């Protein structure tokens, strides 16, 4: 039996259209609701569930009587026909529960997206999608409200829902821009702080779980997961000097010592229920601590909104939203601004490699595999049970590139550290034979991901001058930190995971057997200048049963602290920028736990306080001695003196800067037996001042050293015409700076 397509004289609609509106299954409500001119008059229609009566009040005739509308469907469809009337501005007067209120009709407002936006979105080249998608408080025709826009091309209907409509998806169905699959709606009188989601019907009419906004700028604190109307952050920046000069700080020829920080567990307030600090409190305490310790940058574990605390932010659902755990977007902006005013850069861990399959997130967003690959061999990550972005879809890469530029633009972020790059580059990453699909050339390389990463880096450096990008890439993929125009991926820096694994394996070995592992400490120099490396002692090395840095060290208590001090001295002397995870810089006893504060109380004890002072002094020396950083990424900045003294477990090398920079001599010794009269070749005559000694008493050492300096004598050694005789303390690194006669 077919439905007769006759129209009702009370609303001009067929029964089929009327039912579709009332049930929330009409995909184009703007064709029905609002004001519609015809040759002989004007139809006004409104869908207001739970209303007893609805009238129309003309704005151009405020003194005129209201025009009553006829209820044509029991669910709340109202209509009136005004013969010989042209379109006019109006407001609805709604009576519900005996109370009359005036409310604006969203369906009387025109389209939101302009032609250029539509064109760029269609091309997948809209680099500022955060300015048009999401929820933006705005004013239209003198009415304050919020403009909503979301990409859901395969949906048959999308509604914005919230407390403003009792989460009723029938009420505010959005306008579909069929050219690009964007749904948009201006909601009058919906303002900042309002909770909202999108209710979506798939192409097959299936009602999906309510979805958070992919381009929301703020999200509800877990366990809630609604988006919050906020708009772009509003902050009066005071960092003009920093922004104009930050290219000097992020340059590969500059000193870079990074403090990696998890905001949730950095410091808590035990006397207030062990609460976490706010962004504003962190702007004071964290920035002050980092400045006091001499670091150049803070790297934050992801602060893009995420639902599961134990993911540490590495499974984000809000790529444009500052997590609400610590406050508002403005609070985070204040943290960044304060750091910049104190001369400290901010790096964000950013996760474009995968996303969680939470029902309110991106997975099956419009009922289809929109953001992720449909084939699990491409779209499912077996290590983390997450979804993998479809980098071959322009709208998806546009979404990700827009996120990167959003943080660089709106929050003045100085660098993006891209997580899990290796998992993006290889189609067979963590997959067995038959569980992955080769690329079009039959290879294992993810060509779409490679193109995306190259474009990311080109845009970051091109549109955010002075910023940098960093790759966490754990394989030997070539040219990660080389420009795209020479075939590289275009990152500014790469984490040296191999150096970290080798040296920690060596340091975990009993000193009695280190002679057999000697070249684990030297192997990294075979490839040290193939990339612009950062030496990372990150959060990954002090959790999940790996123990603390102090816990990795062998021996009794004194030897464990001495080993750690010697290792840090070796690290700061070694070519490469430095990264140290929080708590490692005062020798935390236990491994890191994300749910509780660092063990700040141990800094009252001399040995822990000694580690803290040592890091502070290493950072100071590093920044003051150009030879330690100017050629960090170039072979001319390094020369071995002795790399093969396996019997004594001693390493000695030179760090070299520009011609005018005093050379620096680094000597590391990893057995508990001191050496006296140890001869080392040096490049010329003069005094070699002892500028650092990890065995100094102020650090908790035995205070064995060289009385502040040694003189070079014309006795050839190690290929040099001059040499020095040193006292090398047990388990220690000693650093000397050459002072010419």
Give dist(CA 371, CA 377) in Å, integer: 15
260: annotated active-site residue: no
Residues 365 and 372: their CA atoms lie apart, in Å, by 9
Q: Which of 11, 419, 695, 737 is catalytic?
A: 419
- How far apart CA 234 and CA 408 sit, in angstroms, is 15
- The DSSP element (H or E) to which 280 belongs, if any, is helix 279-293
Taking CA atoms, 128 is separated from 91, 361, 712, in Å, by 34, 21, 60
Q: Are 230 and 393 in contact (CB under 8 A)?
A: no
517 backbone dihedrals φ, ψ, rounded to 5°: -115, 15
Sorted by sequence, the CB contacts under 8 Å of residue 240 that are 6+ apart come out as: none
Residue with tokens 């009387």: 108
Contact of 155 with 123, CB cutoff 8 Å? no
Stated as kind and residue range, the H or E segment containing 360 is none
In terms of Cα–Cα distance, which of 673, 676, 667 is closest to 642? 667
Neighbours of 360 (CB within 10 A): 20
Residue 480: phi, psi to the nearest 5? -60, -40
Buried b (16+ CB within 10 A) or exposed e, 307-316: beeebbbbbb
Q: How far apart are CA 477 and CA 466, in angstroms?
A: 26
Q: Give the integer Cα–Cα distance in Å for 210 and 221.
A: 16
Tokens of 740: 């010419």
- CA separation for the pair 410, 262 (Å, rounded): 22
Q: Is the peptide bond before 223 cis (omega within 30 degrees of 0)?
A: yes
Q: Which helix (H) or strand (E) holds 415?
A: strand 415-418
* 3-state secondary structure at position 89: coil
| Residue 127, number of CB atoms within 10 A of its CB | 16
| Pure H helices in 380-527 | 394-410, 421-425, 447-463, 497-507
Q: In angstroms, what is the C-alpha Rg of the chain?
A: 32
State the catalytic residue, choosing from 472, 617, 661, 690: 472
Burial label for 239, CB within 10 Å (0-12, 13-18, 19+), is middle
Strand partners, 689: 709, 737
C-alpha 118: how far from chain center: 28
In the residue annotation, 419 being an active-site residue is answered as yes
Angle (CA) 331-335-340 rounded to 5° is 145
Phi, psi at residue 324, to the nearest 5°? Answer: -80, 0
CB environment 153-189: b (16+ within 10 A), e (fewer): bebbbbbbbbebbebbbbbbbbbbbeebbbbbbbbbe
User: What is the rounded CA–CA span in Å between residue 571 and residue 3?
Assistant: 79
Give the whole-angstrom CA distance, residue 463 versus residue 643.
Answer: 44
**Segments of 607-712 assigned E as strands:** 638-645, 650-655, 664-669, 675-682, 687-693, 709-711
What positions carry a catalytic annotation? 419, 472
């Amino acid at each position: 039996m077919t439905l007769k397509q006759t129209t009702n004289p009370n609303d001009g609609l067929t029964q089929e259209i009327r039912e579709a509106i009332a049930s929330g299954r009409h995909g184009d409500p703007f064709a029905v609701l609002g004001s519609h001119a015809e040759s002989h008059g004007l139809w006004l229609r409104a869908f207001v569930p739970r209303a007893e009566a609805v009238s129309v009040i003309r704005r151009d005739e405020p003194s005129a009587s209201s025009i009553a509308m006829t209820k044509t469907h029991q669910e709340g469809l109202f209509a009136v026909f005004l013969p010989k009337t042209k379109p006019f501005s109006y407001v609805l007067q709604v009576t519900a529960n005996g109370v009359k209120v005036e409310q604006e009709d969203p369906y009387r407002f025109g389209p939101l997206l302009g032609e250029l936006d539509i064109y760029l979105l269609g091309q997948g080249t809209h680099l500022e999608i955060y300015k048009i998608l999401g929820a933006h408080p705005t004013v239209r025709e003198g009415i304050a409200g919020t403009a909503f826009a979301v990409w859901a091309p395969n949906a048959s209907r999308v509604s914005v829902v919230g407390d403003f409509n009792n989460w009723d998806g029938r009420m505010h169905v959005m306008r579909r821009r069929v050219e690009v699959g964007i749904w948009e709606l201006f909601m009058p009188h919906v303002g900042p702080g309002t909770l909202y989601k999108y209710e979506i019907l798939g192409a097959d009419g299936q009602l999906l779980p309510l979805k958070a906004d992919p381009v929301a700028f703020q999200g509800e604190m877990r366990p809630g997961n609604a988006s919050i109307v906020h708009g772009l952050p509003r902050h009066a920046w005071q960092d003009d000097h920093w922004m104009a000069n930050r290219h000097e700080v992020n340059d590969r020829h500059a000193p870079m010592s990074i403090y990696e920080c998890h905001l949730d567990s950095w410091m808590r307030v035990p006397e207030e229920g062990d609460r976490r600090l706010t962004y504003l409190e962190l702007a004071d305490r964290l920035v002050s601590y980092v400045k006091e310790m001499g670091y150049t940058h803070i790297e934050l574990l992801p602060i893009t909104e995420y639902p599961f605390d134990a993911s540490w932010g590495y499974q984000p659902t809000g790529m444009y939203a500052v997590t609400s755990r610590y406050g508002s977007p403005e609070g985070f902006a204040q943290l960044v601004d304060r750091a910049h005013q104190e001369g400290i850069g901010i790096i964000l861990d950013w996760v474009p490699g995968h996303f969680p399959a939470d029902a309110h997130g991106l997975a099956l967003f419009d009922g289809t595999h929109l953001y992720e690959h449909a084939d699990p061999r491409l779209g499912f990550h077996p290590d983390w049970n997450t979804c993998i972005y479809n980098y071959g879809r322009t709208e998806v890469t546009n979404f990700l590139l827009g996120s990167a530029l959003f943080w660089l633009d709106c929050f003045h972020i100085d660098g993006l550290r891209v997580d899990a790059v290796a998992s993006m580059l290889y189609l067979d990453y963590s997959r067995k034979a038959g569980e992955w699909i080769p690329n079009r050339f039959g290879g294992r390389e993810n060509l779409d991901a490679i193109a995306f990463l190259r474009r990311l880096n080109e845009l970051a450096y091109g549109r955010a001058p002075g910023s940098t990008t960093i790759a966490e890439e754990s394989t030997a993929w070539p040219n990660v930190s080389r420009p795209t125009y020479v075939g590289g991926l275009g990152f500014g820096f790469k984490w040296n995971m191999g150096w970290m694994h080798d040296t920690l394996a060596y340091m975990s070995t009993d000193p009695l057997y280190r002679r057999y592992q000697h070249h684990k400490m030297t192997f990294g120099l075979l490839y040290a200048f193939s990339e612009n490396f950062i030496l990372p002692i990150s959060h990954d090395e002090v959790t999940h049963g790996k123990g603390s840095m102090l816990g990795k060290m062998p021996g009794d208590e004194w030897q464990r602290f001495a080993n750690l001090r010697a290792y840090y001295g070796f690290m700061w002397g070694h070519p490469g920028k430095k990264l140290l995870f929080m708590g490692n810089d005062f020798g935390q006893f236990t491994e890191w736990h994300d749910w509780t504060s660092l063990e700040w109380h141990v800094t009252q004890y001399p040995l822990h306080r000694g580690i803290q002072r040592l890091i502070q002094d290493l950072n100071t020396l590093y920044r003051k001695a150009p030879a330690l950083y100017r050629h960090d990424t170039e072979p001319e900045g390094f020369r071995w003196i002795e790399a093969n003294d396996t019997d004594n477990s001693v390493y000695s090398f030179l760090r070299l800067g520009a011609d005018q920079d005093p050379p620096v001599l680094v000597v590391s010794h990893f057995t508990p037996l001191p050496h006296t009269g140890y001869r080392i070749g040096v490049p010329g005559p003069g005094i070699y001042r002892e500028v650092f000694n990890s065995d100094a008493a102020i650090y908790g050492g035995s205070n064995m050293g060289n009385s502040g300096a040694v003189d070079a004598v014309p006795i050839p050694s190690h290929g040099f015409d001059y040499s020095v005789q040193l006292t090398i303390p047990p388990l220690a690194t000693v650093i000397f700076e050459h002072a010419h006669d």
